[in-house]
Every structure is written in C-alpha cells, then in structure tokens.
Structure 1
Amino acid sequence: MDSIILGISQSISLVVQVVAYVMTFIIILEFVNNTLIWFGDRIGVENMTIEFLFSYVFYPFAFIMGARPEDCLFIGELLGIRIFSLAIVAYPKLGPIIQNGMAYRSHIAESVNNTWTAVGNNILLDNLNQTLVGGVIDQRSEIIATYALCGSASFAVMGLIIGSFEVIVPHRIGEITEHIFRAMIAGTVASYLTACFAGLLYEEEVGTY
C-alpha cells in the first residue's frame, strides 16, 4: 500500500509538471512573439517574430544537413521552434507544407497543361483555382526536416526532466542540472545527423506519394 500511495503521489506531481511545462513554454513563445512584433512595428520591421529570427540563426544547420537553399529559412524556423519548445509545436507547421507538396506534385504530374502561379509565398494551381498557403519545399527538404525535428532535446524538455527528477530523486538534482545541457546538445546533434543520413540516402526518383 505504501508503494501504491507513493506511486500515485509521484505520478500526480509528474503529470502536473508535464502539463505546466508544456503550457509555460508555449505561452512564453507567444509572449516573445507578441513582444517582438510590437518592437518591430516601432523600428519599421514588419512581422518580426521569434520564428523570423530562428530562420536566420538555424539557416546554416539546415543548409549543412543538405536542404535546398531556398528551403533553409523555413526549415531553420522549424528547428528554432523545436529547440526552444517542443517538436509537437513545430510539426504542425511542417505538416501543411508537406500536404501542399503532395497536391502540387500530383497536379503537375497529371498533365503538362497544368500550370501554377507563385503569389508571394503561396502557390496558385491555375486549373484548379486552388491556393497552397505557405507554398511548397523540395521533397528532400521535407525528409530532412521531418527527421531533424524528431527527438525531445529542447529547453522545454530540459525543464521537464529537471522537475521530474526533482520529484523522484531530489538528492541527485545537482548531477542532473550539471549534465543536462550537454545531453540536450548531444540529442540535438543526433537528430541532425539522422536527418543528414536520411537526405543522403533519399532518392527522389523512387520517392512516391
């Protein structure tokens, strides 16, 4: 009974902390975004969000992994969101772009007469009068981004792990905080290396949708 009660007590604490940490980092992301937009409006920079800054900071990583240069800003944005918060925040931004790619390639493959028009960052499929919001990225870039975002190495998870182990083994929290940042770097590099190999081994001619 003592083990059951202790397990229930620790489980409740862990669940509460998981929800709290996820919500906190999403809220922080929105707060930073709104602050940057407010500041950008006053210095003449339109739509200056944290995603905009991430896209330039992580551009070199996306390029080194093998993504098409035209796609590196978008992938860099996703990498920044993932390392700041969680993959579950970044993947919903990637999903619609992959769906756009499927629709675009299907439309083009149906007939040589099927044309498209670029409208800003969007693509208009002329024959269908359908707009692909956000445009498309290269198939190899899709694969690289999918693997690069996979994993749990992020600042949000760092906080989550520290809080979780503080409940389970509070006497060893010093060791955890000492090594956790290096562990996050190692996890991030592992995801990036996986993306590198995925891009290297991907063959476009056999990639079907």
Structure 2
Amino acid sequence: MEAIQMGAISMLPMVGDIIVSAFTFVTLISWINSTTVWFGDRLGVHNLTIEVMASYVLYPVAYIMGIHPDDCRAVGMLMGYRIFTANFVAFLKMAELKGNKAAYDGYMLATNFTGGVEYTRDDVILSGLNVTLKNGFIRYERSEAIITYSLCGFSSVLAVAMTLGIMHSLVPNRRHWISTIAVPALVAGNVANCMTGCFAGIFF
C-alpha cells in the first residue's frame, strides 16, 4: 500500500503538467482559429482556419508524396490536422471524407451518373438531393492509401507539448535542452511519416 501511495503521489506533478500542457495547447489552437476566421471574414475569405491554410501550404508535400493533384488539398488538410492536433483527429476527419465519397458514389449510381453536382471551394453539393458534402472527399484509392499510412504517426504539436510536460517533470535540469530539440524532433518525425506514405505509394 505504501508503494502504491508513493507511486501515485510521485506521478501527480507529471499528470498535472500533461493536463495543463494539453489544455493550453488546445486553447491556443482554438484562439488562433477564431482569430484567423475573424480576419478572414473581413477580407472576404470564409472559414480561414489553420487546417485550411495547411491544405495550401502542404499541397506541394502531398504532391511529392505521390498524391493525385485533385486530392492534394484534402490530403494537405488531413496532414494539417495531424500536425497541429493529433493523428486520431486526422483519422476522424478522414472517416468523414470517406463517408462523403460513399454518399457521392451512391448518388451517382442512383442517378445513373447524370445527377447534378456543384463544387463550391472545398465543398461538393449534390443538387438532386440538396446535400452538401463538407470538405468534399478523396477521389482516388491510391491517395487514400498513401495518406492512411502517412497519418500513422504521433509527430504532432500536441504530442510535443505533452512530452515536454512529462520530460520537464522527470528531468527539470535539462528543460532548456529538451525545449531546444523539440522543433527539430517534430520536423524529423513528420518527414518520417511522409516517407512511410511514399513507400505505401510505391507498393500500392
């Protein structure tokens, strides 16, 4: 009982650091998104979030990985979710895109490929059903395979924030050094994830 009690007490600072770091980071991302959306509305750009900006910034990266140009923006958006939040959030968004693809295919089959479709920026509108597929969908299976493997990594800013909280509790004397290598480690991890996607594209 003493070992259990002492172990639990010794973990309190670490758990506190993780919770505070995660909460602070999520709050920061929410504030940045709210700020960019506010500025975007005044500039005539709707829903200008970090994810939307990532879809443009990471477009070349997706293209280099072997993603079809029609899917590069959607894949860039998913990579933005993984980098700035977490991979499970990106997988949830990818599931939404897969659901949109299933709805689109079902609509086209039901209308014998004659149903009206409108494209408004990132969304796809199925005119016959008056349904809007938010953020569209990934068109090609190869693109889907590449991004699926690429998302299987934990190199996100949220993971870095939580790891810093843990390491600062375990080795407080090395706090400055750990903070210094955090960004290079994040970049290296994302490069590794992209390379995994590239190999998936080779063998698809």
Mapped contact 1:98–1:142 kept (Cα < 8 A):
no
For residues 131-146 of structure 1, the aligned pairs below 5 Å read 131=131, 133-134=133-134, 135-137=136-138, 138-146=140-148
Query: Structure 1 115/6 Cα, relative in aligned 2: closer, same or farther at 3 Å?
Result: farther
Mapped contact 1:10–1:168 kept (Cα < 8 A):
no
AA partner of residue 8 (structure 1): A
Alpha-carbon distance between aligned partners in 1 of 2:54 and 2:74, rounded to the nearest angstrom: 9
Mapped contact 1:37–1:47 kept (Cα < 8 A):
yes
Q: What do residues 86-137 of structure 1 show as CA deviations (whole Å, max 9, x unaligned)?
A: 22332222111112224444666x68935443232225385xx484613321
For residues 90-169 of structure 1, the aligned pairs below 5 Å read 90-105=90-105, 113-120=112-119, 121-124=123-126, 129=129, 131=131, 133-134=133-134, 135-137=136-138, 138-169=140-171
1:170 to 169, 172, 175: 172
State which drifts further: 67-76 or 11-20: 11-20
Mapped contact 1:115–1:125 kept (Cα < 8 A):
no
Counterpart check, 1:192 vs 2:191:
no
Query: Structure 1 43/104 Cα, relative in aligned 2: closer, same or farther at 3 Å?
Result: closer
AA partner of residue 168 (structure 2): E
- Note the aligned Cα RMSD (angstroms): 2.6
AA partner of residue 54 (structure 2): F
Counterpart check, 1:20 vs 2:20:
yes
Identity %: 37
State which drifts further: 189-198 or 152-161: 152-161
Q: What do residues 15-65 of structure 1 show as CA deviations (whole Å, max 9, x unaligned)?
A: 333333333322222211111111122223332222221111111111111
Query: Structure 1 72/10 Cα, relative in aligned 2: closer, same or farther at 3 Å?
Result: farther
Higher RCO, 1 vs 2 (CA within 8 Å, ≥6 residues apart) = 2
Q: What do residues 125-151 of structure 1 show as CA deviations (whole Å, max 9, x unaligned)?
A: 85xx48461332122222222222221
Structure 1: which 5+ runs fail to align? 203-209
Mapped contact 1:116–1:123 kept (Cα < 8 A):
no
Residue aligning to 1:207: none
AA partner of residue 190 (structure 1): A
* TM-score where L is the length of structure 2: 0.82
Query: Structure 1 111/133 Cα, relative in aligned 2: closer, same or farther at 3 Å?
Result: closer
Residue aligning to 1:85: 85
State which drifts further: 24-33 or 57-66: 24-33
- Partner of 2:116: helix, strand, or coil? strand
State which drifts further: 170-179 or 155-164: 170-179
AA partner of residue 169 (structure 2): V
| Runs of 4+, deviation exceeding 6 Å | none
Alpha-carbon distance between aligned partners in 2 of 1:41 and 1:133, rounded to the nearest angstrom: 22
Structure 2: which 5+ runs fail to align? none
Mapped contact 2:71–2:143 kept (Cα < 8 A):
yes
Alpha-carbon distance between aligned partners in 2 of 1:169 and 1:84, rounded to the nearest angstrom: 26
Aligned residue-pair number = 199
